Amino acid sequence: MTLSPLDELPIHQAPISMRHVATSDRNFYDRSYFNAHDGTGDIFCVMGMGQYPNLGVQDGFLLVATAEQHRVVRTSRALTADRADLTCGPLRIEVVEPLRVLRVVCEPNEWGLACDLTWTGAIPAHEEPGQRLRLNERTTFDSMRFAQTGCWEGWLTVDGSRHEATPDRWWGSRDRSWGIRPVGEPEPPGIGAARPLEGFYWVYAPMQFEDFSILCIRQDEPDGTPVLRQAVRVWPDGRVDDLGRPELDLQLRDGTREVTGATWHLTETDGSPLEVAVEVLLPVWLGKGTGYGFDDDWRHGMWQGELVVQGVRFDLTDSKVKASMFGIQESVSRFTCGPHVGRGLFEWLFLGRHDPSGWEGW
């Protein structure tokens, strides 16, 4: 039996059941990501859920971080025939109004993190450029994504302490992406052992202001060749302004690749310069414990069992623990664009070589 409940709907893209995808690539994924914050930099909440049809796995996580604590509830289960089942252990996503209103829930659990938060988009979902990369002739990334800024209503509890989320204060961003990217258990390196990835340079910033949002992406090859460049201003009524090729100046903590601030250099629709200053308020190691990183025991799409729920905690006041944090970082940030002050996400991943920055090695 290969049928899925989705097969009742006229949404097929290939002559196969909707429980399957039209590629046999083990690295096919289909994922939702959300973040929530009150703009102060005191707390940052990140949620995600993904399906990996060719690995037979569905997993999700809830990350709550402060300057002192990094805490995760994570869950994984066997993927069923019903691809529309967006539940995984205590986590679930409900699509209330497609592309605009969603509900994210983490039921109370022994690790002290729970939430019931409803998302409403501030702008229409925006389709971003596709991401395509090859390494040693193999396609390693071939995905599409849409992004959206918005606000939250509901509650979040941490060890019994309740945070009330109201739309005037609790903002955030979300994205949906699907396609090919490395997931699951590590594969034999093959030619990659002799010709490994030299570097990965990625910066992403969805910024929300009272009247509009700005979405910026910059991704480079190790020699600085552009992979992705986008800068757009999106209005609530759906208008999109092209803000040209985004350039970026970074402020880094001495001796590290950790960002403390930045300036985006954009181009207004009339050709005049447009600058957005970035102040990093609370940086968070997204990959630690969530599956986005390099943890040997938990990566997106890795088989954990029929149903596994875990909680992990990292004490960031311990210098040894803090020194062990590695990988992609994202931050609650404040953005200043002329007279407009907004807030949102500033995300970066700097691995290996990047010639324009003078970086070598890992």
What residue ranges do the domains of the chain occupy? 26-184+197-357
Which residues make beta-bridge pairs with 135?
Answer: 138
For 137-183, the pLDDT digits (tens) are 999 999 999 999 999 999 999 999 999 999 999 999 999 999 999 99
Just give the CATH number of 26-184+197-357: 2.40.370.10
Backbone angles phi, psi at 339, to 5 degrees: -80, -5
Please tell me the predicted confidence (pLDDT) of residue 1: 61
Contacts of 237 (CB under 8 A, 6+ apart): none
Q: How far apart are CA 173 and CA 175, in angstroms?
A: 7
- Segments in the chain below pLDDT 50: none
Closest CA to 2 of 87, 11, 13, 15: 15
Classify burial at 61, counting beta carbons within 10 Å of its beta carbon; exposed 0-12, middle 13-18, buried 19 or more.
buried
pTM flag (> 0.75): yes
Please tell me the predicted confidence (pLDDT) of residue 362: 82
Closest CA to 159 of 108, 118, 90, 117: 108
For 221-249, the pLDDT digits (tens) are 999 999 999 999 999 999 999 999 999 99
Please tell me the predicted confidence (pLDDT) of residue 15: 93
Please tell me the predicted confidence (pLDDT) of residue 361: 84
Please tell me the predicted confidence (pLDDT) of residue 134: 93
DSSP 8-state code for residue 130: P
